[in-house]
Amino acid sequence: DRSKLFSFNAQSPENGDDHLREYDPTAQQKQHHLVVIGGGAAGFMGAIEAANVIADNSKLKVSILEATSNPLNKVKISGGGRCNVMQDATKSARLITEGYPRGRKPLIGLLESFGPSQTYQWFDNHGVQLKTEPDGRMFPITDKSQTIIDCLRQLADTHSIAVETRTRVEDIRVVQEEKEGGAGMLDDD
């Protein structure tokens, strides 16, 4: 089994950084960095879950890079400002994917491992109660998307996840491969 370290260039004019800067994990000897690209709901949930898994590893920093100035902006406007979190938690992955003919096969596996019932439970575990409307759409009981945004933001803060806005990833390169039980090797590319 091999793990890979990646380097990437990101541009962030908001931070007074009009030029590309390089994130190089090999340059940080004492601390590793997990970077999630995209500050939408999936990016936040992924970063939060990663931070949960590695909570006992103080050498790993988690960051979210968002190209726009407004992370979670699509959450804000979803469902007319109420945030349509998901479909009815009782629907199977196969039934849900019938609405996605071109991406059905990959979605089935994803939804079977983390589908509506797991999403419902995740939000419930983090203090957000959801309700199901007659058409099967689920919303926070507050009918406000800000409830979901506040939940995700608070969890990111709790886990000290840095959120860098207006930071667009321009490219990603493999800079080192590490073999199991061995030292890393720099790529010649």
Task: Give the pLDDT of residue 188.
Answer: 40
Distances (CA, A) of 177 to 1, 147, 183, 184: 11, 41, 9, 6
For residue 19, pLDDT over 50 is answered with no
Across the chain, mean pLDDT equals 81
Q: What is the pairing mode between strands 32-37 and 60-65? A: parallel
- Name the band, by pLDDT with cuts 50, 70 and 90, for residue 182: very low
For residue 139, pLDDT over 90 is answered with yes
Instruction: Give percent of the chain with pLDDT exceeding 90.
Output: 44
Torsion of CA 40, 166, 23, 30, to 10 degrees: -70
Task: Give the pLDDT of residue 184.
Answer: 42
Distance (Å, whole) CA 189 – CA 175: 8
Task: Give the pLDDT of residue 181.
Answer: 45
For residue 98, pLDDT over 60 is answered with yes
Instruction: Give percent of the chain with pLDDT exceeding 70.
Output: 74
